[in-house]
């Protein structure tokens, strides 16, 4: 257990569905992240929130919409996804004012888009 939880662990959705991924961190960190992990590719940073404010959006399509209501919770709202969006979506948290910025990861949500 890393102190970061994600739900659901697995999700299958059609291209017209709307769903949300949830992440919660119990570590008192001030930064949270969404990553996409596809087979044999580097982790792709999608969004970064520092103190609940979005500081990074790495050219992510608008069909992915993040929400950070407080420093412990992070959501990723999904709508009209494409089959190529099928991947493992990882949430992470860190304490950004520590020099190392070590990130702690949740177990991920395995998303399949049909």
Partner 1 sequence: GQNIDQPTEMTATEGAIVQINCTYQTSGFNGLFWYQQHAGEAPTFLSYNVLDGLEEKGRFSSFLSRSKGYSYLLLKELQMKDSASYLCAGTDSNYQLIWGAGTKLIIKP
In this structure, what is the dihedral angle of CA atoms 92, 108, 84, 33, given to the nearest 10 degrees?
A: -10
Closest separation in Å from C-beta 54 to partner 1? 14
Closer Cβ to partner 1, 33 or 64, answer by number: 33
Closest separation in Å from C-beta 85 to partner 1? 19
Closer Cβ to partner 1, 60 or 80, answer by number: 60
Closer Cβ to partner 1, 54 or 102, answer by number: 102
Contacts with 23 (C-beta within 8 Å, 6 or more apart), sequence order: 4, 5, 6, 32, 34, 73, 74, 75, 76, 91, 106
> Under the rule (CB under 8 A), what is the footprint of partner 1?
2, 4, 40-43, 45, 48, 56, 90, 96, 99-108, 110
- Distance between CA 14 and CA 33 in Å, rounded? 25
Closer Cβ to partner 1, 45 or 60, answer by number: 45
Closest separation in Å from C-beta 22 to partner 1? 15
- DSSP H or E segment with residue 31: strand 31-37
């Amino acid at each position: 257990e890393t102190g970061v939880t994600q739900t659901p662990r697995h999700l299958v959705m059609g291209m017209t569905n709307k769903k949300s991924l949830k992440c919660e961190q119990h570590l008192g960190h001030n930064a949270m992240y969404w990553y996409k992990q596809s087979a044999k590719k580097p982790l792709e940073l999608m969004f970064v929130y520092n103190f609940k404010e979005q500081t990074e959006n790495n050219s992510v399509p608008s069909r992915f919409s993040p929400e950070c209501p407080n420093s412990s919770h992070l959501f990723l709202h999904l709508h009209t996804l494409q089959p190529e969006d099928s991947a493992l979506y990882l949430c992470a948290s860190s304490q950004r004012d520590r020099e190392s910025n070590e990130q702690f990861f949740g177990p991920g949500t395995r998303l399949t888009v049909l």
